[in-house]
Amino acid sequence: MCRGLTGALLGVFLVLVVSAAFAQPVWVVVSTEVDEDFDPAGFQDRQALRLDVATGYTWPGSIFFDPGPGVLGLETGLDAFHYDLLKDVCFFSTEVDVAVDDLIFEDEDLLMWDGVAVTEVFDVKNLQTAAGGPLTLDYGLDAITYFEHAELGDVWAFSTEVDIQPLGVTAGDVVFTDGTNVLGTWNVQQAFDHEVGLDALHILTREEGPDRITYEFILSTEVDGSVFNPDPQQWIPFKNEDILMLVFDLGNNLLEADVPWRGTDSYPDQGFDHDVGLDALYLGPEIPEPATMLLTGLGLSALVLRFRRRR
């Protein structure tokens, strides 16, 4: 249902987004901040694109989900994306408010497409807080993922376009919800030298022992900055087109930070010739690999790597 339409491109950078110590995704879905029009296939920034391990993530990929024609029917942009593999439904948010027939979908809404119709899952401004009452204001919805939290159970984790003052979190932090109530927050911003905002997010839960659970945050940011790696202690510079990996324990303590893929530094073999940005990502089912497996040599050089910044 979410799979769709014609062939397109991208996804090169997501080959490195899973830590080599754990696994590699069978396939990945991404969207960018720019349209691509160098290749006849082309794609728009609203489209989510899939690449597969079986093809070495090589060109061409395919358009996995397009919220435009057949869904909302207009240009919307794509700010957040998540896929339910079992139900084959796509969850997403848009960059702008859109009116479809007599319905208005706002950029702070999490929407669901089941292949037939679009429905609203929740509206950020209507989420109930522990202090009582909804958040009320439009904070936007910049990134979303669904994962299993050891204490809260299955929850949505999201970031917003602006700080949420009532919760004391920034646009670089994560909020947990069951779709009705705010269940908690996660201080991701502690890892950075300044507020960076989050543009894409995927969280993996790792059971590393009988009493040891860690969470691997795979993300991109809205701006350039530096991320702190605790061991060895060092600040690692990154750009907003790079992929970051942060590991936390259940107590929200930062254990590890890295920049496993740099969007432009590896051009032309694996990267882009300029900043393309990253608006959403989803990692498909994973293939377990030995701890020494490196994910850098999967033959990505055949990808088309040129994009044009949207004006």
Q: Provide the residue range defining the domain that includes 126.
A: 7-288
pLDDT band at 99 (very low <50, low <70, confident <90, very high): confident
The CA distance from 244 to 238, in Å, is: 8
Residues 33-56: b if buried by 16+ CB within 10 A, e if exposed: bbbbeeeebebbbbbbbbbbbeeb
Inside any domain, residue 203: yes
pLDDT tens by residue, 159-217: 999 999 999 999 999 999 999 999 999 999 999 999 999 999 999 998 877 778 999 99
Inside any domain, residue 301: no
The mean per-residue pLDDT over the stretch 120-149 comes to 94
What region does 179 belong to: left with phi over 0, alpha with psi -120 to 50, or beta?
Answer: left
The mean per-residue pLDDT over the stretch 232-259 comes to 93
4 vs 154, higher pLDDT: 154
CA distances from 277 to 32, 103, 200, 234 (A): 6, 30, 10, 25
Inside any domain, residue 299: no
61 vs 67, higher pLDDT: 67
Instruction: Find how far residue 179's CA is from the centre of its chain.
Output: 18
Residues 171-191: b if buried by 16+ CB within 10 A, e if exposed: bbbbbbbeeeebbbbbbbbeb
Inside any domain, residue 176: yes
Q: What is the pLDDT of residue 258?
A: 93
- pLDDT > 90 fraction of the chain, expressed in percent and rounded: 47
Inside any domain, residue 1: no
pLDDT band at 273 (very low <50, low <70, confident <90, very high): low
* Omega of the bond leading into 69 within 30 degrees of 0 (cis): no
Inside any domain, residue 302: no
Q: Is 115 helix (H, G, I), strand (E, B) or coil?
A: coil
Per the listing, tokens 């940005």 go with 277
Q: Is 299 helix (H, G, I), strand (E, B) or coil?
A: coil
pLDDT tens by residue, 277-306: 677 888 887 655 432 232 333 222 222 222
Long-range own/partner contacts, residues 202-206 (CB < 8 A, 24 or more apart): 202/17, 202/145, 202/281, 202/282, 202/283, 203/145, 203/147, 203/157, 204/18, 204/22, 204/147, 204/283, 205/147, 205/148, 205/149, 205/150, 206/22
Inside any domain, residue 163: yes
Instruction: Find how far residue 152's CA is from the centre of its chain.
Output: 21
The mean per-residue pLDDT over the stretch 120-147 comes to 94
Q: What is the pLDDT of residue 283?
A: 83
The CA distance from 308 to 311, in Å, is: 9
Q: Is 200 helix (H, G, I), strand (E, B) or coil?
A: strand
For the chain, how many structural domains are there in total? 1
- pLDDT > 70 fraction of the chain, expressed in percent and rounded: 72
The CA distance from 293 to 64, in Å, is: 28
Inside any domain, residue 134: yes
The CA distance from 258 to 138, in Å, is: 32
pLDDT, averaged across the chain: 78
The CA distance from 101 to 309, in Å, is: 32
